[in-house]
Amino acid sequence: MTDKRPEVLENAPLQYAPENELGVVFLFSHISKKLRVRVESIRPQFPDCVAYQKTSHGEKRIRIEFEYRSSSFKSHNHSSRKCDWIVCWEHDWPEVPKNLKVIELRNYFGLGFKVWIQPYNIKQLNGRCLTNKESWGVSKRASSGDLLLMYANRPKQCIEDIFLLTEKPKLGRAGWREGDCYRGVIKRVCKLKSPIFLDDLRQHKIIKTAGFIKAHLQGNSNVTEYWPHLYRMIVNRNPSIKKKIIKYAPEKL
C-alpha cells in the first residue's frame, strides 16, 4: 500500500482527483451539460465517445477520446483525423494537432495551478538580470497559471524570484543551447528580498526528504505537494510580499 493519496477535489462528485481514464469519463459526465454536449454513445473502440454539441445552427457531431493525460493519444497511435476532442485530466501535449480540442478537466474542479521549481544557469542570461516578462523553457506538463519558483544555480543556489506562466508552453528553439524545448511566456509575480537558499531547503524537516532535493534541484520539478511548506518559508522570510502571493496560498490549490 502507498502512503500517498490523490489531491482532494472540492465541490466535485469524485472525492479525489482521478488516477486513470475511468475517473476522467466519470467527471466528464458531470460537466457535459455545461459544455452543451449530449452524449449519444460510449464504446470500447476508438474514439471512445460520440456526442452532439449545441450550436447556434443546431447540433454538431463530435468524436471524443478519453485519456488520463492528453499525450497518451499520441502514444496510443490514435488518428487525429478520426477524432475531434480529447478529454483528459492533465493536458501535457503542447504540440497537439490544431484540429483537436482538448478539455482539461483539472481546470473545472478547483485544481487550476501547479508549482514548479525552475532551475536556471546564470550564464543563460548573458550577464543580464531576469526581467518582468520572459520567454522561458519550462516543463511540457506545465500549464497556464502555474507558478515558477526560479532557482538560480551556482554560485547563488537560491530561489529569489516567483514567476507566473501565462500561456501553455509550445515546442520551439531553446536559444541558450542546441535543440528545441518547450517555451512559454512568464511574468514576474514578485522578487524575494530574502532569498530561499539551497541550504534552507536541505535543513527543513520535511522538504529535505523531497526527491527534488535528493536530485540537487536538477531539471524542472513539480513541487505542488510541498507548496504549503515552501509558501510559509517564503512569506515568513518576506512578509512584505504576502499581498502579492496571497491568491496562490496553499488553500487555493
Query: pLDDT tens-digit profile of 84-122?
Result: 999 999 888 888 999 999 999 988 886 668 899 999 987
Could you tell me the sign of the dihedral formed by the alpha carbons of 7, 12, 14, 18, in that order? negative
Share of the chain above pLDDT 90, in %: 62
Beta carbons of 78 and 70 less than 8 angstroms apart: no
pLDDT (0 to 100) of residue 1: 45
Q: Is the pTM value of this prediction over 0.85? A: no
Query: Cβ–Cβ contacts within 10 Å for residue 9, how many?
Result: 18
| Averaged confidence pLDDT in the chain | 89
Q: Would you give the DSSP letter of residue 8?
A: B
Question: Is residue 63 predicted with pLDDT exceeding 50?
Answer: yes
Higher pLDDT, 73 or 4: 73
Burial class (CB in 10 A: 0-12, 13-18, 19+), 164: middle
Of the listed ranges 72-86, 113-127, 133-147, 213-227, the least confidently predicted one is 113-127
Residues in CB range of 148: below 8 A, 6 or more apart: 116, 117, 118, 136, 138, 142, 162, 163, 164, 165, 186
The three-state secondary structure class of 111 is coil
